[in-house]
A and B are shown apart, each in its own frame.
Chain A
Amino acid sequence: MLTYTIRRLIFAVPTLLIIAAIIFFLLELAPGDPMANVPLTVPSEVKEQMRQALGLGEPAPIRFVLWLRQFFWIEPLNVVDALVGTSFAEGELRIISWQNRSPVFITIAERIPQTLWVVGTSYLVAIAIAIPIGIYSAYRQYSMFDQAGTFVTMIGFSVPPFFSGVLVILIFAVQLRWFPSIYDTTLVVNSWDAFVMQLKQMFLPVMVLALQITSQLSRFQRASVLDNLGQDYVRTARAVGLPEKRVILVHVLRNSLLPVVTVIALYVPAIFSGAIITEQIFKVNGIGQLLITALQANDLPMVQTLTFIFAVLIVVFNLLADLAYGILDPRIRYD
């Protein structure tokens, strides 16, 4: 297991480097110029100095290496500095946004909590709903509940988030006026009322995101329980007279959760991409919205860093999923 982990970790490094290179050189083709907004009256040598200050003086391959150094070395140092109070990263050039000329990671750090709140809550809600539904549908296969569940999950699976978002806004915000359609990030939760308000404004985005994940997860859970119900150990457990509750909730549940745990880990990056759309609909100013505004404003360092963060998420969670499967299921031996 350890050698497998190390092998996978070593293999992840070139993957990430190649992805970084793909993103970097794709963005190299972009026509955008960070100096486009600088007035024409500014003399060209000053412009040249401004370019240097943004780290644009070198040819592309060198800038790529510099960017890697900034991402993997200088930015972590800055985090250490901020936490411990040291000054390792003093005087080093950080990744600077072209939009507001401040370090990219400061903006990202401001935006991440909102995304994590919405994404995290919806994921937990989805897991909490999907697993019982999946188990019950499988246990009563082809019953009314199962038929209805399958139909609803098929709908949840097919209706794209940008339409389900619009629909819930129309129903709950425009018609019924129960929940606000816009997520107010300036809200500070310091009283009961503010907490209720926070819950209310999170309701719609969480619902939209959770609907999609719930339908995917409960399909997996159902299939997995169905697989297990036919196994010999279930018959044995029933034959020795274990109560049905124990058979299902202890034996079948534990075994059927194995593949589902992997799927849960694998979907984490996907839900972050899904959040790009949901944040756009409900005007949550998280990292998804940051990516869209950065794209529209031609802020390439920001786009590059954010896209790469998404790539890191995918690689890391793929690795975690494989490792979790190996740890949880003793039948799986990788080496």
Chain B
Amino acid sequence: MTDPHATEPLTPQGTGAAVVTGPGAVGSTEAMAVPVAARSQWWDVWDQFRTHKGALFGAAVFLGICLMVIVGPMLWPLDPTATNMRARYEPISWAHPMGTDRLGRDTFARVMAGGRISLGVGMTAMLLSLVLGTLIGMMAGYFKRLDGPLMRFTDLFLALPLLPLLLVMVILFREPLAARFGIETGIFILVVSAIGVTSWMQTARIVRGDVLTLKEREFVLAARSIGTPSGRIIARHILPNVLSPVMVSATLGIATAIITESTLSFLGLGFPPDFPTWGRLLFDGVPLLERNPGLAVWPGLFISLVVLSINYVGDGLRDALDPRIRGR
């Protein structure tokens, strides 16, 4: 790794303070190495992130896949649901870069369409679990009276057998929600909320831990002493400072949510066959493995690539957002 700040001595006190005091303190470590004024801390984060080759590569792959999935279907002429009985089980060719399935549907088009749903579910579920986790962690950390009950509640959720319960939830609520909102929206809401509700616990614990230490710091005391109401202390002073761990767990949350959604679909309990997600495509491809292995391999490859790239980005972000490591 090349690092521009190699000569800078790492003083535990100085950098330790930078963890929590936010933009002001980061500037001081910055001033020693690079004598330029007024530079947002996000530039430092970016500089550190850039030094992590894996993370940079991961980010590129992830953005590439997102772009392919969003823009691809507009450019690609074949419809994911159009059947063509004359071209069943086609191998890889220019007309069908990933072959075709047993109804002659183009796998490339289906993988792109499936990616839209899979990534959509992943991001929405991550947002939901992030909001829940941050809210609960913040309340537990900031309000002493809520700490005990909320943390017991979190422990309880951590002790739940999540995969069996997810399966139960999906089976139970599939019909009513599909009847209420239509099949696609209904299942989307169901899968997203099921994943969100069962994955907020880690975020809540991390946020609580950070809030507990932040709450005792002088800048919070100062804010309180001039009469800032609790809501504004949280929003202006505490929330920005817990942003880094939240961002890391958000990144990794996308990967977990995508895996969970694919698992549900793979067990035949996620989206119905007409709405191909990556997990569903993989599930449909398995019985035809001897006939046309590509049907199962392509969607699986995309799931793995997305998860791998996100994990690398998460690793890089964790280093980049940690001021104790940054600048080393």
Contact = CB atoms under 8 A, between A and B. Distances in A.
B177 to A, nearest CB: 12
Given A158-B311, A291-B167, 13 more contacts: A23-B165, A26-B172, A159-B308, A162-B300, A163-B303, A166-B286, A167-B297, A174-B289, A276-B163, A276-B267, A296-B171, A310-B161, A315-B159
Interface residues of B, number: 41
B172 A154 contact: no
Nearest to B299: A163
Interface of B: 54, 155-156, 159-165, 167-169, 171-172, 175, 255, 259, 262-263, 266-269, 279, 282, 285-286, 289-290, 293, 296-297, 300-301, 303-304, 307-308, 311-312
B164, B171, B303: residue with the most chain A Cβ atoms closer than 10 Å: B164
A307 B161 contact: yes
A26 B165 contact: yes
Nearest to B310: A158
Interface in A120-136: none
Interface of A: 15, 18-19, 22-23, 26-27, 29-31, 154-155, 157-160, 162-163, 166-167, 169-170, 174, 269, 273, 276-277, 280-281, 291-292, 295-296, 303, 306-307, 310-311, 313-315, 318
B300 A311 contact: no
Contacts of A295: 167-168, 171, 269
A204 to B, nearest CB: 13
Contact of B159 (A29, A280, A296, A314): A314
B289 A292 contact: no
B87 to A, nearest CB: 23
Contacts of A307: 161, 164-165, 168
Nearest to B260: A160
B156 A163 contact: no
B285 to A, nearest CB: 8
Contacts of A159: 304, 307-308
A42 B297 CA distance: 50
Nearest to B283: A162
A160 B164 contact: no
11 contacts: A26-B168, A155-B308, A158-B304, A158-B307, A160-B259, A163-B300, A166-B286, A276-B164, A311-B161, A313-B161, A314-B161
Contacts of B263: 160, 162, 277
Contacts of A291: 164, 167
